[in-house]
Structure 1
Amino acid sequence: MNVPVVVDRTSSGKEHFEVLDGLRGSAAFLIVIFHVFNYSFGFHGPWALVKHAYLAVDFFFALSGFVVAYAYDDRWTRMSILQFFRIRLIRLHPLVLIGATLGLLGYLFDPFSKASNHTDAPMLLLAYITSLLLLPSPPVGGRHNETQALNGPAWSLMQEYLANIAYALILRRLRPLTLAIIFGISGFLLIWTVNAQGSLDGGWDYPRIWMAPLRLTVSFVMGLWLYRVHDRIRVPKIGLLLLSIVLVVCFQMPVFPKVGEYSLNGFYDAACVLLLFPVIILCGAHSNAGTGMIRLCKFSGHLSYPLYITHIPFVYVLAGYSWTRHPSLDVKLTWIFLTIPFAIIVGWLILKYFDEPVRAWLTQRYGIKRTTV
């Protein structure tokens, strides 16, 4: 007898776009691959895999715009702005706290980076407090000018918070045409930026922190617009596996050279964000996971956020080992292939024994219906 699949739903009772959930997990896994291999091999050489996987952040922003519009666009007659912010904080912030704490512990107890991880206690405490509040943190020793010094990937969560504020106050009220105009104008700014900078790999660092709101605006507004018009667009129904392969190929492309005054690499990044990602999201939204893949989509989607926000401390330790102990290629690859499943297991444990129980308690405490968006 086949066991019926329990359909995962949003707080308003809507079914999730399961393939999009699965794609979010695929992108999070590719981010882990990007960090593990590139930090270990110095971002160059044949083992510096998926060099364009920083674009996964732009993909996350677009997915966030799409699913936030789906979950909340029709709820504003019975939901206040304060309730919306409370729902989003309960959904996002518990893992921000655990990510910041893991980042601090990793910084203090990393056995391989004691020489570089040197920061005065008051400054380190300030970095931890700002990380808990998801504010830009002061720079600390051993990090590369990251705006979230103890938990680098949290920079994109800070942008997610800004996106939610903008959605609640302004963007939810805009018509599709207005969203399309904003997307078009910001898209042109993005093309100009990538030609000047050479890539979209910026916004996480202080020298290029200004790139973060630009990347957010382009992709989040695009996601909102895609949701508003997706029923009018006909695209092929393509499942999780093939769309994930498209993401892998997209991220694995080489770094392209500059030709005269034009950055081919920058234009490639812009083409992925402005052209490819909308097609992937539309195909995913119109596709069904099927009975054989629905559990994988649900697992992948649920794991994506905890994996993304908690994996980087282990990457820092691995990178410190690689650059201070200079292991052979075989030994380095062994530790890399042990770190990846370890990070996945830790993410799953945190999901099951911290995030879900804490969110359930907060939801019950404040009388808010359960949300998984």
Structure 2
Amino acid sequence: MQNISSAAYADSKPHYELLDGLRGVAALLVLFYHIFEGLSFAAGGTPITVINHGYLAVDFFFILSGFVISYAYDDRWGKTMTTGNFFKRRLIRLHPMIIMGVILGTITFFLQGGVQWDGTKVATSAVMLAMLCAMFFIPAVPGVSYEVRGNGEMFPLNGPSWSLFFEYIGNILYALFIHRLSTKALTVLVGLLGIALAWFTTFNVSGYDMIGVGWTLDTVNFFGGALRMLFPFSMGMLLARHFKPMNVRGAFWICSVILLLLFCVPYIVTGNSPISLNGLFEAICILFIFPVLLWIGASGKTTDNFSSRVCKFLGDISYPLYAVHYPIMYLFYAWLIDHKLYTIAEAWPMALAVYLGNILLAYLCLKLYDEPVRKWLTKKFLNKK
């Protein structure tokens, strides 16, 4: 998120406050999307409604991530930043909440009865292996014993961790390769990746007629997931190198409304065209609209205490919310299936409880676990005396 998490800025550099807030807005929209995904799943795979393109939040997270990582670290390489130090910082920032997500995912899997979606009982040893692998970020190949839900997820105890897996790949590539590129070379790389992404989406290479790929480890999903990360991640870095703020009033609210509207655009039916119209829309969002929103968000400043507090709160909870909400969604999906509820009109009280409960859970995880653990790890591994 922003790297799906908050990037660690240099201590002497100010945060882009509005980007923190927009990251939180995107995380809230992901949560909203997954509620409607549950209704679709319970109904046997009917089209997702209302927030139809909510999965594009992941691509928005990646462009935020590239921007703030480049901003925080580009001018520190060869001075105060080493490769080892960079990796320590990223692990401390990202991995504690990954582990928390795995633990919650294990608990909720057993609360569901320890069975796959088709009702097949899963051995406790397989669940423990899935938990151990997920803690060390070893993805499950479809069909292995520790792919415990039986629907091919890379991380079956906490599905959205797939995007963090690609985030780690992006961080590794940045440290070893991308930060060394000249601005001209980075521009060429971004252009080539943009062409590849446009081809992948508009010609429906995945067969999904959407860019919701990367969550499983088959060939198309790995390739598509890598493209989903690499283009916006490197585009964010390129924008950081060229960024010059412009005067934009109400930037946070403007960008938030645009994100909501984009995510609520109905699924676009292609018909007999060889071009996927839905994929074309998604390509336009990722290649053109998201970079503009990033530039506007980075240019804006909060002008009142309310906006400032909103952006800070949303930025603070954005990564914990993304990292821990889906285990609760598994329980919600199972509840929808058990009660044969397929519309928001039927399930709205529980949906609202799940939505607000996840926000509360994220805040508690942030304050009682993530911040203290990161503080301890930073002191032990980065601030040794």
TM over 0.5: yes
Q: How does 1:53-202 map to 2 (within 5 A)?
A: 53-76=54-77, 77-110=79-112, 116=119, 118-139=121-142, 140-194=147-201, 195-196=203-204, 197=206, 198-202=209-213
CA contact (8 A) 1:107 1:150 kept: yes
Aligned residue for 1:206? 217
Amino acid at match of 1:240: F
Cα distance between partner residues in 2 of 1:117 and 1:57: 31
Change in Cα spacing, 1:98 to 1:67, as seen in structure 2 (3 Å) is: same
Q: 2:315 aligns to what? A: 301
- 2:33 — aligned with what? 34
Q: Normalising by the residue count of structure 1, what TM-score does the alignment of the two structures yield?
A: 0.91
1:355 to 365, 370, 379: 370
Whichever residue aligns with residue 159 of structure 1, its letter is F
Q: How far off its partner does 1:113 sit?
A: 6.2
Does 2:324 correspond to 1:317? no
Match of 1:286 among 296, 299, 304: 299
- Structure 1 counterpart of 2:295, which letter? L
**Shift of residue 11 of structure 1?**
3.9
Tell me the distance in 1 between the aligned counterparts of 2:19 and 2:353: 28
| Match status 1:241 vs 2:240 | no
2:51 matched residue in structure 1: 50
Question: Secondary structure of the equivalent of 2:268?
Answer: coil
Secondary structure of the corresponding residue to residue 27 of structure 1: helix
Q: Distance in 1 between matches of 2:210 and 2:241?
A: 29
Query: 1 CA distance for matches of 2:113 and 2:172?
Result: 40
Determine helix, strand or coil for the equivalent of 2:156.
coil
Provide structure 2 residue ranges, at least 5 long, that are not aligned to the other structure.
Answer: 1-6
* Structure-2 residue corresponding to 1:252: 264
**1:178 deviation in Å?**
1.4
SS in 2 for 1:59: helix
Q: Cα deviation per residue 1:173-196 (whole Å; 9 max; x = unaligned)?
A: 112221121111111111111122
Aligned to 1:3: none
Comparing 286-295 and 97-106, the one that deviates more: 286-295
Partners of 2:131 and 2:157 within 8 A in 1: yes
Shift of 1:328: 7.8
Secondary structure of 1:293's aligned partner:
helix
1:134–1:167 distance in 2 versus 1, CA, 3 Å: same
Q: Does the 8 Å CA contact 2:134/2:155 hold for their aligned counterparts?
A: yes
Cα distance in 1 for partners of 2:288, 2:250 equals 17
Structure 2 counterpart of 1:101, which letter?
A: I
Q: Structure 2: how far apart are the matches of 1:79 and 1:263?
A: 44
How far did 1:332 drift? 1.2
**Greater shift in the superposed pair: 217-226 or 197-206:** 197-206
Q: Closer, same or farther in 2 for the Cα pair 1:218/1:29, shift >3 Å?
A: same
Q: Please state how far the C-alpha of 1:40 moved relative to its aligned partner.
A: 2.1
| Contact 2:114-2:122 at 8 Å conserved across structures | no
- Per mean C-alpha deviation after superposition, the further-off stretch among 161-170 and 129-138 is 129-138
Per mean C-alpha deviation after superposition, the further-off stretch among 216-225 and 290-299 is 290-299
Question: Paired residue for 1:4?
Answer: none
Structure 1 counterpart SS, 2:55? helix
Instruction: Find the aligned partners of 2:342 and 2:227 in 1 and give their Cα distance.
Output: 41
| Separation (CA, whole Å) in 2 of partners of 1:99 and 1:262 | 38
How far apart, in 2, do the equivalents of 1:84 and 1:269 lie?
32
Following TM superposition, by how much is the alpha carbon of 1:120 offset from its aligned partner in structure 2, in angstroms? 2.4
Q: TM-score scaled to structure 2, two decimals?
A: 0.88
1:49: how far off? 2.5
Identity %: 35
Which is further off, 306-315 or 131-140?
131-140
> What's the Cα RMSD here?
2.1
Cα gap change, 1:172 to 1:360, in 2 (>3 Å): same
- Choose which of 271, 277, 281 in structure 1 pairs with 2:284: 271
What's the CA shift string for 1:295-335, capped at 9, x where partnerless?
Answer: 11011011000000100011111111111221485441110
Q: Is the 8 A contact 1:314 1:339 kept in 2?
A: yes
Matched to 1:134, the amino acid is F
Checking the alignment, whether the CA contact within 8 Å between 1:117 and 1:142 is kept in structure 2 is: no
Q: Is the 8 A contact 1:113 1:317 kept in 2?
A: no
Taking a change above 3 Å as real, the CA distance of residues 90 and 209 of structure 1, as seen in their structure-2 partners, is same
| Shift in Å, 1:364 | 1.1
Using the TM superposition, give the Cα deviation of residue 199 of structure 1 relative to its aligned residue in structure 2, in angstroms: 1.4
- Give the distance between the partners of 2:114 and 2:177, measured in 1 at CA: 47
Amino acid at match of 2:122: T
